[in-house]
Amino acid sequence: MTLRKESCGKVAIPATSHPAMSPRLLFTIVFIEGYCSLGAEIIALRRLIPHVGSSIVVTAPTIGLFLLALALGYHSGSRVEADYRAVVARNFLISAALMGAGLAGGSVNAIFAGTQAGLAYLIFVGAILCPLAWLLGQTVPILTNLMRAQRSGEAAGRALYWSTLGSFLGSVTLSLVVMQLFGVWAAVLLGALMLVAGAALVQRPRPLTATLLVALTALSAAANLGDRQRADTAYADYAVEPVLREGMLAPRAFVVNNQNASVIDASEPPRYARYVQHLRRILLEDLRFNNRDILVLGAGGFTLSHREALNRYTYVDIDPAIRAIAERDFLREAANGEFIATDARRFVIDTTRRFDAIVVDVYSARTSIPGHLVTREFWRDTRHALKPGGVMLANLILDGKLASPYARNLLATIEGAYGRCAVEVLFKSAPASNVIVTCFAAESGEAVRVYVDERNLADIDSARSP
């Protein structure tokens, strides 16, 4: 190994037998690496939502494991001493396969089908996401060996700039543009095709490599183009499926993130999911609502207001596409009510409107309410959005005996904001049941007291109660 001649007192760096890569090409490669690596993480988090939700206990370990794999990739890349282009091209090819096939909707569903959720999560992260991050993490330290730079800091800084710029654009464009306009499948396919292109750019393909590039392109297309018929957005997977329900005529379910969010049948008038019929009975029969303003947080299938002309409904859901999907595929007619696409908590904080009733029906997965929608502060915000004496109805999925820590603590949190509430378990023998909580925005009464044998004021309290 020889040293390049340097002037002006600058430190010489070793010259290698590898010809330098043009800056434009090198920065294109590291830009693709950054775009696809963070894009893969965004897609992985989105793919996990239907199966394990989007709570902090899911996203934080996923991000942490991804970063750990990326760090190990940086270290592995720094130890590569030869065949720089060939190693990066190989890594891009393997990453394209992991992304194009491993992050496809069918593959992720297959991993979680029939497998315990925690184990399936580890398989998904350990076999697909982390290896992809590890391989792509090697790119920058390897390619800096081929940069025309007089200082190692300059080489690393410029490469990291383009890689991080790619990460920024990947996270923004995939989540806010590609997924919104076309679906998650398009984001997966775009990332896989970019990696295939990167492999072809970093090293001129030989016949065998060219065949692999074509095969990977075909594999990615086959794994993802079929998902075009799926209604998925940046927020959720949607489907309409036939279900069996006793006493219902040809019922169909609106499935959101693998959860039956709403059910409707072909009867006239239609019948709905049991919890929706229960909510409608509370509002229309028990409370006799007429000409009232009702806010529904979490649109579901828009069945709460379906063909209900007595009251005014406002639906709030974070996904702008849910109304069009529900009207086209599930209701097969226009939804009744105003629709606002925003976060539920943001809406109740910002709104100046006051409602006679608020229905909270917000789920990101089968039994998972987003964490920011279960806190005392959120329930207080819903109370502030109610008119005096208004009612809050919450549909929760809890264990039928209300014995789990989550059930006890969530119910206590709601009552901490509203005071005593009515709690109705719809399926008492089921391990997981719809639980309807009814709370009124009434003025707080006097402090509660416990009746005891030595000082029992029950008769006095009963006499002065309405």
- Report the residue count for the chain: 466
Average pLDDT of the chain is 88
Q: What is the dihedral of CA 184, 188, 191, 193, to 10 degrees?
A: -120
- Segment among 46-55, 170-179, 292-301 with least mean pLDDT: 46-55
- Segment among 51-60, 181-190, 388-397 with least mean pLDDT: 51-60
User: HSE-up of 343 (CA within 13 Å, CB side)?
Assistant: 10
Token representation of residue 183? 């679906």
pLDDT higher than threshold 60 for residue 2: no
pLDDT, residue 10, reads: 40
Q: How far apart are CA 299 and CA 262, in angstroms?
A: 10
Select the highest-mean-pLDDT range: 66-80, 139-153, 422-436.
66-80
Give 89's pLDDT tier (boundaries 50, 70, 90): very high
Structure confidence by residue, pLDDT tens digits, 407-459? 999 999 999 999 999 999 998 888 889 999 999 987 766 677 777 777 777 76
Mean pLDDT of the 66-78 span: 95
User: HSE-up of 103 (CA within 13 Å, CB side)?
Assistant: 32
pLDDT, residue 260, reads: 85
Eight-class DSSP state of 146: G
Element (H, E) at 177: none
pLDDT, residue 99, reads: 95
pLDDT, residue 392, reads: 97
Q: Which CATH superfamily is domain 16-232 in?
A: MFS general substrate transporter like domains (1.20.1250.20)
Q: Does domain 238-440 have CATH number 3.40.30.10?
A: no
Q: How far apart are CA 59 and CA 201, in angstroms?
A: 34
Structure confidence by residue, pLDDT tens digits, 356-388? 999 999 876 555 678 888 899 999 999 999 999
pLDDT higher than threshold 80 for residue 195: yes
Could you give the residue range(s) of every CATH 1.20.1250.20 domain in the chain?
16-232
Could you give the residue range(s) of every CATH 3.40.50.150 domain in the chain?
238-440
Q: What is the pTM of this model?
A: 0.79
Mean pLDDT of the 52-67 span: 90
Structure confidence by residue, pLDDT tens digits, 231-264? 788 888 888 999 988 889 999 999 888 888 899 9
**In sequence order, what are the beta bridge partners of 422?**
438
Is the N-terminal amide bond of 269 cis, ω within 30° of 0? yes
Looking at per-residue pLDDT, the higher value among 327 and 260 belongs to 327
pLDDT higher than threshold 60 for residue 193: yes
Structure confidence by residue, pLDDT tens digits, 9-20? 443 344 445 677
Give 196's pLDDT tier (boundaries 50, 70, 90): very high
pLDDT higher than threshold 50 for residue 5: no
- In sequence order, what DSSP letters do the residues of 46-69 get, joined into one string? HHHHHHH-S-HHHHHHHHHHHHHH
